[in-house]
Amino acid sequence: MGIKSSGDNTIFSEINITPLTDIFLVLLIIMMVIAPMFQSIDQDIKLPMINSGLSVEENKVTVAVTKTGKYYVNSAETELKDLGKKLKEVLPATEKEKIIVLKADSDAQTSAIIKVMEQASNSGYAKLTVAGEPLTPDQQQELERKSVKQEKQK
């Protein structure tokens, strides 16, 4: 848009960016007001299942933790006080890398998982692999059934 000045016959041909700047400032203020609302929505998020990653070998020592706080070492129910002893018993002496696999329910308490990590470290395991998918209710029931069968056999 050209504007003539009164004393000069030249045309002013630069773009006036003031209205554009005003629009961007209004949009910035709106986003600053709305942004905290998005953060409050995220509080009830459950993490999704993992679709990629390394597969877990089935022949590794596995510790499962249910949402009720029960511990299972290779599908055998174990009390927390006996967890370290049981992990030492099943420690593979022939393998170079002492690896333990931890499977936990998504609702399991973090303290229960940390206790497994501490016991595994104290028992001589060098690496701990956390399985990406939590225990499903069917898997928990299967562990409990196996545990009951093992108790009956003793």
4-50 residue pLDDT tens: 556 667 777 788 889 999 999 999 999 999 887 765 443 443 444 55
List Cβ<8 Å contacts ≥24 apart for 93-96. Answer: none
- pLDDT, one tens digit per residue, over 74-103 is 878 888 888 888 888 887 765 677 888 888
Tell me whether residue 2 is in a domain.
Answer: no
Count of domains for the chain: 2
Both 114 and 75 in a single domain? yes
Both 68 and 137 in a single domain? yes
At residue 114's C-alpha, the angle toward residues 108 and 118, to 5°, is: 145
The answer to whether the predicted template modeling score (pTM) of the entire model surpasses 0.85 is no
What is the predicted pLDDT for the residue at 58? 60
Range of the domain at 135: 61-153
Round to whole Å and give the CA distance between 22 and 17.
9
